[in-house]
Chain A
Amino acid sequence: MTRKQRRAAFIGLGLGILSLAVFLVLFALRDTIVFFHTPKEVVERQIPAGKRFRLGGLVAEGSLKRGEGLTVAFAVTDTDKTIPVTYTGILPDLFREGQGVVAEGKLDPSGRFHADMVLAKHDETYMPPEVAKALKQQGVWHGDAKAKGGVPK
């Protein structure tokens, strides 16, 4: 094998694997990504029922209700719009009314969100960035001030 052929073999190998990877990435990105929406966006953009997405906002005060068995109902709000949510399973330890939450699932035709995953956070002053941003844009939440504000002077 000449030097040129060897080099061609390695370049071919590299390009082959790279194109396989690009194909896989494009294929996977088309089918597996999940969009994030606030309740306001869900209403404005009229997200169709059955489409999987992440819903983020605050757990509305006084909305948490335990249903039969393991089913819980609560509402996610950005203070502008509110979406009712149903979830079956164990809520994360830091799940509380008035706190930020991200739920993943689908809307049903009646506009109720059926979550199959509710995200836990490691830190109680932590707010998911999307939620914080969306809430800040609406002037509801001033998380940075809250997180840092406790420092005595």
Chain B
Amino acid sequence: MIIELGHFALVLALAVAAVQMVLPAWGAHTRDARLMQAAEPAALTQLALLSLAFAALTYAYVTSDFSVENVWANSHSAKPLIYKISGVWGNHEGSMLLWVLILALFGAAVALFGGNLPPSLRANALAVQAAIALAFLLFIIFSSNPFVRIPLQPEGRGLNPILQDPALAFHPPFLYAGYVGLSMAFSFAIAALIEGRTDAAWARWVRPWTLAAWVCLTLGIAMGSWWAYYELGWGGWWFWDPVENASFMPWLAATALLHSALVMEKREALKVWTILLAILAFSLSLMGTFLVRSGILTSVHAFAVDPARGVFILAILVVLIGGALVLYAWRAPQLQQGGLFAPISREGALVLNNVLLTVACGTVFVGTLYPLALESVTGDKISVGPPYFNLTFGPLMLPLLLAMPLGPFLAWKRGDLLGALQRLLAAAGIALLALTVTLALTWRGPWLAPFGIALGVWVVAGALSEWVARVKLFSAPLADSFYRARGLPRAAYGTMLAHAGVGVAVIGIVATTAWQSEAVLSMKPGDSAHIAGYELAFRGVAPGRGPNYQDQIGLLTVTRAGAPVTELSPAKRTYDAPRQTTSEAGIHVAWRGDLYAVLGDELADGAFVVRLYFNPLVRLIWLGALVMALGGALSLSDRRLRIGAPRRARRRALAAPSPAE
């Protein structure tokens, strides 16, 4: 009964989405306030209906109702509760339902908090949101309905064991919140194009939502990377795999969008570009959903898929992205150009950021889709791996990181490059010091890596220098600095943290890429191995039992220069249902790096294959991402962003004249 209720709510949500798409847009066109107002209750009803549908499916999972095909195929009664719940979005159908639920959440947020927006802009934006929802609801109902019933089964087939993991339980919701959050920027961009008008208020409304989406995306990607690191047992944290790239491209575009929306908000410049970027960022999110779910790409992360769905999603992509771009080509030239600025200025620096980020995103795009294009043209199947991305993406990040600390020191409109450089002398000194120390410590090579470390240090020190300069630390009395530090807006701290986070991540990436050590060996109980100054003694393998799996646990005693450090217990885990084996890496976390052990197969002579890694400073990668997200969240909590949208009085003045066309 509850399942049917959920199913019914889903179909009803489709009808409401259709209403929400047509009425407000028609109202905005004919300036009919009553029709425009229909958007608000429609958006809220949609959220209520989709919450109901999602709750119904969750209920089916929690109660292990195996008369629902989706539950039967992806769940098992012996699974721990958290994985029963995360199983709701651990499969294609459920994850699509989560996708539209988050979309409805954002739509409802516009309806609830968008009271200070021009009514026609809000009506149009909500109509566009409804159009996206309509497309995805059609997709869910006709090609991936999670509520399909089957004859009651005694037991489910179980969730793919590698998905039974805490980090992966929360990875999809964050990632989707990021993907779907970008739909706000998209909807507002389309609404602005329909209206033929954008202004600073538009950017002031769009920027916090983009920032929120960006924070979620950052966390989602970091979680996915962390999961891949400890669960897949390869000791790597990023593989430049198509599925990873699919989430990374929207992140790059969203990062660029955040910065260009800043220019638009503060200086009313880069309007046409910002609108395009908003369209592209969400298009890349849609493509991300498409790439992961259609199965057209070879990926280590790919899951079994149904090709018919791919065609459906492709149609959605063509209509939404194609339609948006056509509208853009038609209407964008009518948007008014904004303020002027010199090449050396805050705006100029942000343009440089945008050019580098979008071009870098473009190289990732080419690398991800080139194999597809080549196969459809010549029939040759190729794979583009990490070497390609290291060669193209890396060099483009170099100027970006070099210029990053400079941007905040340049004034709007016309900046003073020499002055900015002077104020960064201390940061440059620290970076040089880091370079010398790293070179001395790692004289055996690789010789490029110390420069990478210095670059990361430069970014961190540069971010901190901005703060030092703004609170006049060292140049004013300490009490005065403290007072200034308290008065500094949260957005300034947010920028500083986010930029410093990038630097921290860069240090981690360079260190672990350049100085990772790896050893694969066969060990019998009593054998010992050496890696990165650690000595590991293999003590044997013992069986273990979890709630729904059987473990084979290896025991390694780790010592360093004779002193005991820790015990590692990498395991091979065989799940009851589906019967599948996963590796559970044994990881020792320390500041200098992770000691990482994987237990492999048993050999004929009673020895076990053991793979050992030492990943120096690898934690800094995720720490950096966390700091970035924290910076974003801090900036989001800035009072100026929350009350930034125009006041009512001004809105009336704006809404009165019809847009110039």
A122 touches B340 (CB 8 A): no
Within 8 A of B (CB), among A22-71: 24-25, 27-29, 31-37, 54, 66, 69-70
The contact size tier of chain B is 35 or more
B381 touches A130 (CB 8 A): yes
B114 sits at the interface (CB 8 A): no
1/0 contact trace for B291-308 toward A, CB 8 Å? 000011110111110110
A147 sits at the interface (CB 8 A): yes
B492 sits at the interface (CB 8 A): no
Residues of B near A130 (CB, < 8 A) are 298, 381
B355 touches A13 (CB 8 A): yes
- C-alpha gap A122/B583 in the complex (Å): 12
A33 touches B388 (CB 8 A): yes
B351 sits at the interface (CB 8 A): yes
A108 sits at the interface (CB 8 A): no
1/0 contact trace for A106-130 toward B, CB 8 Å? 0000000000000111111111111
Q: Give the dominant DSSP class at A's interface.
A: mixed
A88 sits at the interface (CB 8 A): yes
Residues of B near A36 (CB, < 8 A) are 298, 381-383
Residues of A near B343 (CB, < 8 A) are 1, 6, 9-10, 13
B340 touches A33 (CB 8 A): no
Chain A residues within 8 Å of chain B by Cβ, number: 53
Within 8 A of A (CB), among B306-351: 306-307, 340-343, 348, 351
B521 sits at the interface (CB 8 A): yes
1/0 contact trace for B215-243 toward A, CB 8 Å? 00000000000000000111000000000
Residues of A near B232 (CB, < 8 A) are 120
The one of B69, B366, B582 in contact with A25, judged by C-beta atoms closer than 8 angstroms, is: B366
Q: Given contacts A121-B300, A128-B298, is CB(A148)–CB(B604) below 8 Å?
A: no
A17 touches B396 (CB 8 A): yes
A126 touches B302 (CB 8 A): yes
Please give the distance in Å from B345's CB to the nearest CB on chain A. Answer: 10
A151 touches B162 (CB 8 A): no
Please give the distance in Å from A142's CB to the nearest CB on chain B. Answer: 13
B391 touches A32 (CB 8 A): yes
B342 touches A89 (CB 8 A): no
B628 sits at the interface (CB 8 A): no
Complex A-B: 5 CB contacts under 8 Å: A17-B396, A34-B385, A35-B381, A93-B580, A122-B162
Known contacts A13-B351, A17-B396, A36-B381; 10 additional CB pairs below 8 A are A20-B395, A21-B363, A21-B392, A24-B392, A33-B383, A36-B298, A90-B233, A90-B611, A93-B583, A125-B304
